[in-house]
Amino acid sequence: MLKLLLDENIGLKVYYELEKLGFDVKSVYVAARSASDEEVIRLAKDENRIIVTMTKILVTLHYPIARQALYFYG
């Protein structure tokens, strides 16, 4: 099943709608407010979740992880 982690910049309305549709969704805003980008990546990795965000910096932060051949879902 698709497991999503919504970053803080994704509104709670999206979270609740996805939840109603049956998605396994977690919101950084609810679960880990003010977490650093590195912590968000770690949470997604630990829980095998795909990060949904509007922040480009997460892509930049993910690149070194990918180069180390560490598996990361999204």
Interval 52-74: pLDDT, tens: 988 776 666 665 655 565 555 55
Mean pLDDT of the chain: 83
Locus of tokens 């949904």: 52
Look up the pTM and report it: 0.76
Task: Report yes or no: 25 and 48 within 8 Å, Cβ to Cβ.
Answer: no
- Please return the burial class of 15, using the count of CB atoms within 10 Å of its CB with bins 0-12, 13-18 and 19+: buried
Task: Decide which of 70 and 46 is more confident.
Answer: 46
Spatial CB neighbours of 37, under 8 Å, sequence gap ≥ 6: 55, 57, 58, 61
Structural domain containing residue 20: 3-67
Instruction: Note whether residue 15 is domain-resident.
Output: yes
Task: Count how many domains the chain has.
Answer: 1
